[in-house]
Chains A and B, each alone.
Chain A
Amino acid sequence: MSRTVFIITSIVVVIALLGVWVYVLFFSTPNNGDQGGSSETFANLDFNDTTDPSYVPNDTADTFVDTDNSLDADAADTRKIKQLTIDPVIGFQEVITNNEPEAYYITPGTGNIFAVNVVTNEERPVSNTTIPNARRGAITPDGRFTLIQTGTGAGSEFVLGEISSTSTELTLQFLTDHLVDFTATADNTFLYTAKVNNVVIGKEYFPVSKTSKTLFTVPFQTVAIRWGTSAHTLFPKATSQLEGYLYQAEGGVINRLPISGFGISAVSSDTHTIYSTQENGAYRTFTYDNETNTQAGLFLTAFPEKCVATHVTTTFLCASTQDKYGALLPERWYQGTESYSDSLWEIDLAAGEGAVLSNIIADTGRTVDVINPLFSDLQGNLYFQNKLDNTLWTYRYTQDTTDPVLTGNDIN
């Protein structure tokens, strides 16, 4: 075939294809199946009569189908560690409701109480009674009573609230004692200390009968208390520049423990005490066996304020970092001029082992400076606050899922 013929033939084919395309685009109409012909609908966008400007309501409601239950409020949140509140709290407690753990918490300023389901994260109000200038609080584990401090310093007052199961109103009663420190017990009472003249008196308050009994008398005022079940650990508030001493109050008697040091503070179980003190310019942590009267160094350095005993008296949960702890502790942490990004540790003093439960910043992306740990042996949950913003957190503690890091002879 000559070149001329080839070119002419190609032009004719292109023109024919263009003609077909123009016809299909502008002049072709599909046949609808309901008109007897075969269905040739390619994409009916259902615009209806687009020349009609009136609103045409859609009879069929738009529905969103949640196919994986990710937005279902009843779905379980299986994370081991999580933040329970985005707002600060001034007191909290685990309360079992309908066989599920709820974290009751008190909001600052108003004293309102809310409950967040630890499993499903669902939140509900418990009390909307406003207690102005609420600054600190405690709730009994049965969820029936709360003790709230309003104001600070010499102007503070203390109010007992009875939580109703049928309404969100509290029944209030002001206490006459000027409390210094208070906590709720597993027996649904309150333990507190009150300043009287030059001494501090420890008392147990029974909210049902509105009575109290004296537990012990401390002959000095600047005292820190670590409340226990039957024995309570006392010491002068810690500073690295003055010596402190540990005492134990039990059965109305205060006994001196053979532990002292600069900057000393402690936490105890029924059988053991973990304490930290300054030693040779460094802040170090030690253990004391209350029954054998023996002391030993701990492989980990931790503020005892970040530690809590579990239901096993030889096992503690502590928050700590791998940072070096230097001089002028613990006061620099108390002031807030030093803060820490903690990991959660399990310390088994009987086995001499320790293990990291959670590297919080790696697991959550958040820096948490743990304070006020509370272990609830109802379901084995650990609760704590972040000192940086006072929000509430929880860790689901189960002993068989820890990753062992240190064992046996690794403990000093």
Chain B
Amino acid sequence: MRKFTLLFLAIYCLSTTAALAQFNPSSMGNTAPVLELQPSSPQPNSELAVTVTSNDQNLVSAKITWYIDGVEFVTGRNTRTITITTPDSGQKQSIQAVFTTLSGEQVIAKTTVQPVWLDIIIEPQTHVPDFYLGRALPSIGSVINATALISGKGFQNPDLLYRWTLNNKVIGGATLRGKNIINFPMPIGNTAVLALEVSDLSGNTLAKRLVQLPSAQPTLLFYEANPLLGTKQRPATKNFSFIGNTTILKAEPYHLDSQVYNNPNLIEWEIDRVTYGNTGSNPYEITLQNNGTGGRSYLNFHVRDLSQVLQGAKGNLIINL
């Protein structure tokens, strides 16, 4: 029994197996130079830094010659990094780094760059006045439409793969074919990061893009309106001088979710602490009438969604009669 135990222990301890964790057999002996691009997805007509790296000790003393589209890049002689300008959208550009050893042997690293524009158009579905020439901003909980436009491959090529991530979480659960338009709610926080990687059907990455989305708090401004002349394009000042017998004030909640704007749970006007719930066909307008007495009144407006309490806006004016 004792001999059997000793024999068992000897066999167990003396046998060896190779540990392959974090070990790639295919890399054994692979010292071929590789080219790295910075940025990895360059845009057209922009600066691109190309760096050649190699673990081959034989290439340490080798002469390095760079070629761009077959033409020697003279200023890059014997340097590991060059900076070039990428071509127009969709055009290909070949880059080669040629190592010539002391013995005359040549080792070549090459790649082809085909820059494209990858634009992500952010369209928040929030409210701005009709006369406003600009784009609305997203607010927490509001829906954002994002449209990816990639040039050189057809703006809306259905044979491309789109991988959208929002704050590092994949939208839609996976890479989606032809899905260049998505929508999603703005998450909680001051900003969010939307990233996109576009590949061809073979899985080759064509372009990558990252966009930071700001989160705006809905803001209220009051504008004077006239049934004949339309809405003034300058907001009423905090101290509003009431001239004439009648005036109409319109409340404009910038960047309020459009769904909340069209169907708010709470919308009310308040004058000197008296609430007016129904002011007419447009709940965002109030008609004020001068009753002949002087002094000042305090006007308040409040609109809000009661399930998404961050979707709301309040504002007030001092009306001087």
List the interface of chain A (C-beta within 8 A of B): 88, 90, 108-110, 133, 135, 152-153, 198, 219-222, 224, 236-239, 241-245, 254-256, 258, 260, 293, 305, 330-331, 334-337, 339, 387-388, 390
Contacts and interface: CB of A to CB of B under 8 A. Distances in A.
Contact of A222 (B135, B156, B226, B228): B135
Given A109-B229, A237-B134, A219 B122 contact: no
B229 A242 contact: no
Categorize the interface residue count of chain B. Answer: 35 or more
A135 B134 contact: no
B240 to A, nearest CB: 14
Contacts of B149: 219-220, 256
A241 B137 contact: yes
Nearest to B116: A256
Interface of B: 44-45, 89, 117, 119, 121-123, 130, 132-137, 145, 147, 149, 151, 155-156, 181, 211, 213-214, 216, 221, 223, 226-230, 232-235, 254
Given A109-B226, A256-B89, A336-B233, 15 more contacts: A108-B230, A198-B181, A220-B123, A224-B133, A236-B123, A242-B214, A243-B211, A245-B119, A245-B121, A330-B134, A334-B133, A334-B134, A337-B221, A337-B235, A388-B234
Secondary structure at chain A's binding surface: helix, strand, loop or mixed? loop
Given A222-B135, A242-B122, A335 B254 contact: yes
Interface centre among A88, A254, A334 (most CB of B within 10 A): A334
A255 B254 CA distance: 32
Contacts of B155: 219, 254
Contacts of A221: 123, 145
B123 A293 contact: no
Contacts of A339: 234
Nearest to B230: A108
A390 B131 CA distance: 12
Contact of B123 (A222, A254, A330): A222
A108 B135 contact: no
A49 B59 CA distance: 130
Contact of B134 (A198, A255, A331): A331
Nearest to A90: B230
A220 B117 contact: no
Contacts of B211: 243
A239 B216 CA distance: 12
Per CB-CB distance, the 4 closest pairs between chain A and chain B, nearest first, are: A109-B228, A237-B135, A336-B234, A152-B130
A258 B135 CA distance: 21
Contacts of A88: 229-230
Interface centre among A109, A254, A256 (most CB of B within 10 A): A256
A12 B211 CA distance: 113
Nearest to B211: A243
Nearest to A257: B117
A47 B156 CA distance: 94
Nearest to B180: A219
Contacts of B226: 109
B147 A237 contact: no
A224 B211 CA distance: 21
Contact of B221 (A198, A243, A244, A335): A335
Interface centre among A239, A256, A335 (most CB of B within 10 A): A335
B147 A293 contact: no
Contacts of A293: 45
Nearest to B213: A242
A335 B135 contact: no
Given A88-B229, A109-B229, A198-B181, A256 B151 contact: yes
Nearest to B252: A335
B230 A135 contact: yes
A315 to B, nearest CB: 25
Nearest to B123: A222
Contacts of A387: 233
A275 B232 CA distance: 27
A221 B151 CA distance: 18
